[in-house]
Amino acid sequence: MSQKAQKPLELILARNLLTSLSTPAFLVDDSGALIFYNEAAGALLGISFEESGRMPAEEWSHALGPFGDEGSPIPIEELPTTKALRQGRPAHGGFTVRSVRGEEYEIESTALPIVADGGQEGAMIFFWTRANDTPGRE
Amino acid sequence: MKLKVWGARGSVPAPGPEMNRYGGNTSCVELELSDGSTLIIDAGTGIRSLGVGIAKRLPKINILLTHLHLDHIQGLMFFAPCFQSQSEITIWGPSSPEASLEERISRYISAPLSPVEVRELPCEVNFRDAPPSEWELGPAKIRAEAVTHRGPTLGYRITDGPTTLSYISDHEPGLGAPLDSLEPEWISGYDLACGSDLLIHDCQYTDEEYPDHVGWGHSRLTDTLTFARRVEAERLLMFHHDPLHSDDFLDRFQETAQERWQELGGADGAVQMAAEAQELELAPAKVAVT
């Protein structure tokens, strides 16, 4: 058997979908850990998922944002991701994210919960930059 | 564990003289477990012939359904034990938030598609959602998990003593996923099939046919072989043949598959096309064709 427990099918299919999109997007599991992001998100953040790997919720929100007006990380419980996971409903917000190159982007993000037979499996988070300066886009 | 294929065709029955060797009946596999009991997987049209033989000798019957597409349930209405009062039939299948398993199957076994209703069947029939965790039927430990297909669909892992069979008849694990490089935890069906002595797996399309059928829920040859190699299955029985594929076509398809399998490092003779009436005896790390 595999060393790591296989992901629920809903998360596998979500990853397959996000892989095919040019909209930057994250996939988190039910604990809020970042378990995948697509190439468009990698272009925005300046680092691919293959390079960064899986990150617990506190780690990715500290490293990548989102940040508030004063540049400090927004508390986890205020993030759309957290609301989607805890309340099982879509949530939306506007923030700043910072790439590993130090570039900051004003973004809007929508988190959609992934709910299956067994309950909450995770969430997909989509990003839109407010300016037309998204890396990798014409 | 002994196995007999009663139907290996996918999508729709495909009778005809050009289909005689591999058969035209849709999905149905019979397993004889180590205690002599019988387990049936899927109830395509192949189950009709199976039912004729077991109607009187087996009062208790368990049927594992992967999903409720017609090519996996069409034979139920013609399964002889359903019409015998001494039969006790338990049908296991995927759950759905939309309706119970019985309600969904009853859409087929009811007017106007059927002259009889489920409640009119003289047998005792029970419908059970496949549990999310492993369960036992006789000496077999059974595990069911959702796999990539259209609609709620299960694959099964059946272990009887030291022998394991994995059955994933309808599966498109390569949809949007690079199977050769993806981590195992992200591959649909990986845990079900990992290290099995025999993997029965969807191989409906050639690589050339697949681009016209992406997202239909079935595998092309490359993905079937790659999946089988990734899970390190001892043997592979390719299943769910396209109704357009004649015997001669499947002969050539099998030759190609065997060549490709060996190029991937697989053992000679470990890959075969499933054929109606084919019987196999499974043993750990060895499957003998009888």
pLDDT, position B268:
93
Measured distance CA(B65)–CA(B209) in Å, rounded: 27
Q: Is the pLDDT of residue A137 over 50?
A: no
Under the banding of pLDDT at 50, 70 and 90, the label for residue A63 is confident
Q: Is A4 on the interface with B (CB under 8 A)?
A: yes
Comparison of pLDDT for A104 and B26, the residue scoring more: B26
CATH number of the domain to which A114 belongs? 3.30.450.20
Under the banding of pLDDT at 50, 70 and 90, the label for residue A87 is very high
Task: Report percent pLDDT > 90 for chain B.
Answer: 92
Q: Which of A45-49, A132-136, B13-17, B274-278 has the lowest mean pLDDT?
A: A132-136
Tell me how long chain B is.
290
Alpha-carbon A42 to chain mean position: 11
Measured distance CA(B146)–CA(B39) in Å, rounded: 20
Q: Is B176 on the interface with A (CB under 8 A)?
A: yes
Kindly state whether residue A61 falls inside one of the protein's structural domains. Answer: yes
Residue range B2-280, CATH number: 3.60.15.10
| Closest alpha carbon to B236 in B173, B174, B193 | B193
Under the banding of pLDDT at 50, 70 and 90, the label for residue A1 is very low
Tell me: the pLDDT tens digits for B37-69? 999 999 999 999 999 988 777 789 999 999 999
- CB–CB of B219/B187 below 8 Å? no
Measured distance CA(B73)–CA(B116) in Å, rounded: 15
Measured distance CA(B206)–CA(B185) in Å, rounded: 26
Under the banding of pLDDT at 50, 70 and 90, the label for residue B133 is very high
Total-model pTM: 0.89
First vs last C-alpha separation in chain B: 13
Cα–Cα separations (whole angstroms), residue A32 to A7, A54, B273: 14, 11, 44
Tell me: the pLDDT tens digits for B77-94? 999 999 999 999 999 999
Query: Whose structure tokens read 């012939």?
Result: B49
Mean pLDDT for chain B? 95
Mean pLDDT of A92-103: 85
Measured distance CA(A67)–CA(B69) in Å, rounded: 49
Q: Is B177 on the interface with A (CB under 8 A)?
A: yes
Range of the domain at A92: 9-118
Q: Which of A3-17, A78-92, B75-89, B233-247 has the lowest mean pLDDT?
A: A3-17
> Which residue in the set B97, B148, B183 is minimally distant from A117, CB to CB?
B97
pLDDT, position B185:
95
Q: Is the pLDDT of residue A43 over 50?
A: yes
The count of domains in chain A is 1
- Residue B52, Cβ neighbours under 10 Å: how many? 13
Are residues B185 and A16, on separate chains, in Cβ contact within 8 Å?
Answer: no
Kindly state whether residue A74 falls inside one of the protein's structural domains. Answer: yes
Sheet holding B236-239, edge to edge: B135-137, B140-146, B154-160, B163-168, B198-202, B236-239, B271-273
Are residues A1 and B183, on separate chains, in Cβ contact within 8 Å?
Answer: no
Mean pLDDT of A71-80: 81
Contacts of B195 in chain A (CB under 8 A): 1
> Which residue in the set A1, A7, A17 is minimally distant from B186, CB to CB?
A7
Kindly state whether residue A127 falls inside one of the protein's structural domains. Answer: no
Mean pLDDT of A68-74: 75
Coil vs helix vs strand at A75 = coil
> Which residue in the set A2, A17, A118 is minimally distant from B176, CB to CB?
A17
Q: Is the pLDDT of residue A101 over 90?
A: no
pLDDT, position B168:
98
Q: Is the pLDDT of residue A133 over 60?
A: no
Q: Is the pLDDT of residue B286 over 80?
A: no
